[in-house]
Amino acid sequence: MKILIIGAAGMIGMRLARSIIKDDFNGAINDITLFDVIPPKIENHKNSYKIKTGDISDPNIISELINQKPDIIYHLAAIVSGDAEENFEKGWDVNAKGTWHLLEGIRKKFLTSNGSYKPKFIYASSLAVFSGPYPSAINDDFSPNPETSYGAQKLVGEILINEYSRKGFLDGVALRLPTIVVRPGKPNKAASSFYSSIIREPLNGIEAILPVPENLCHWFASPLSAVRFLRHAAKLDFKKLGNRRSLNLPGVSCSISEQILALEEIAGTKTSKLIKKIPDKKIEEIVNNWPQNFMADRAIELGFVADKDFKDIIQIYINEEINT
């Protein structure tokens, strides 16, 4: 079996790659290709893999990747939310046109193979496909209606995956990932970046900026759960999805004040004192339109499992990034 990870240099992409390279799905994989605009930093390992670089908005690059006929394709590459909002053309070129080029490459290979090539396609979508007003918890029948460029681009990807799956060119699923925290490293241009910063920086003795009110609630998952979601999706019987190929994934609903309380319970009040409230109306306008809670019944029935609570999410970061 062959696996292609697009966006393998990103935080989730590298973790997924390391996880798959480590155990190669219990020996079921004989070819792993990692693709991104820059080479992913993967440690040497006994199991081999290939690294390729390029731009997914380039159809020639896509043809080269698809000609290898990967059985499972993970599409994780994206311009993040804040960057997509500020750089309109860049966001659409990568997040929407890049996805379309990828799906078109698969369709053409399906046709030239007389229908024998039909991969599983696992797409990392986002909660940003939704906008308010929201019910107390979003169920699986709540309609997407994005109010950001990033959300619109992700929804276009979902619609394309549904259509290409309906036509039989591939078997696709769009996973609406919760916001992933706590991310290692430094803040990026994602509007949600502060959700990780207000935990990560204080745990490392550094001040963090909180740009929104503490009563704001959101839907979270750990990087460990994100990898588990992606790996579990590869094992799904896609027929169970029917013609609804987008899934709201389970997570933890938590306000910022509850996040800070969880941080204090684990690391003491000295950490929370490093969080400085500096309002940013631009970020607040974006995240205010994001959902706060879900009833992810379909995903749970299909075997997806969330983190236990936000303390669990913080502890995962400590175990993986501080205590190693």
Residues tagged active-site: 150
The phi and psi torsions of 77 (rounded to 5 degrees) equal: -70, 135
Amino acid letter, 170: L
41 Cβ contact list (under 8 Å, min separation 6): 9, 14
Amino acid letter, 210: L
Q: Half-sphere exposure of 9 toward its Cβ, with a 13 Å CA cutoff?
A: 14
**Residue 20: burial class (beta carbons within 10 Å; 0-12, 13-18, 19+):** buried
Q: State how far the alpha carbon of 208 is from the alpha carbons of 24, 252, 260, 297, in Å.
A: 38, 22, 12, 35
Token couple for 59: 């159809």
Q: State how far the alpha carbon of 28 is from the alpha carbons of 1, 71, 110, 193, in Å.
A: 6, 11, 23, 36
**Is the separation of the CB atoms in 193 and 168 below 8 Å?**
no
